[in-house]
Structure 1
Amino acid sequence: MKSKRYPKEFKDQLIQEAQEIGNVLQVAKRHEISPKTLYGWISQSKHKAWQHTNGEAKKTAVYIPSNQEFKQLEKENDKLKKLLGEKDLEIAIMRDLIKKKNPGFQTG
């Protein structure tokens, strides 16, 4: 299989993008190149930021909801907790009824 040649500008752009995102695999997939190729470009580059980072260090994207969204999520969470509690209570009552009707029956 013949290897592709990529212009230096393209390599630098992908190295910069991987540095900003903090996820080499994601950048490689987005541009349809092998992650191994991108890692090779990074190791060959003179980008100081990459030379000083630990290989285990990772950046993660975090979604932070607005105050309104957060309040809505809290309400939904409270509602779901209440519903779960009600269902747990229903199950406990049903098990008690089954045990009373059929003393030899094993539940749970």
Structure 2
Amino acid sequence: MRRSKYFKEFKIQVVQEAKEVGNKAAVAGRYEVHENLVKKWVKEFDEHSELAVQWYVLKELEQENDQLKRLLGEKDLEIAILRDLLKKKNPHLRRSWK
């Protein structure tokens, strides 16, 4: 028998859907995993729900942080480009901005 390793994101998604739907067998069939495995994940989630929720929130915050870093980098690049253009059009400003 082959054992599969599932990612935490997948497990959390299956557990959340199983709790919303209320039918673990239907959710198990939809994701092609055994019903007992879904029951086990739900039990583990209930036992460690606080940690799972914190982990999920942490992942969302990390994604938001990465997005904000990219936006900040883009804005810094835009400012540098605009300063260069301004210096080229107004050479007398070269001394005041660096």
TM tier, smaller: 0.3 to 0.5
Q: Which has more helix, going by share of residues?
A: 2
User: TM-score, with normalisation over the residues of structure 1?
Assistant: 0.42
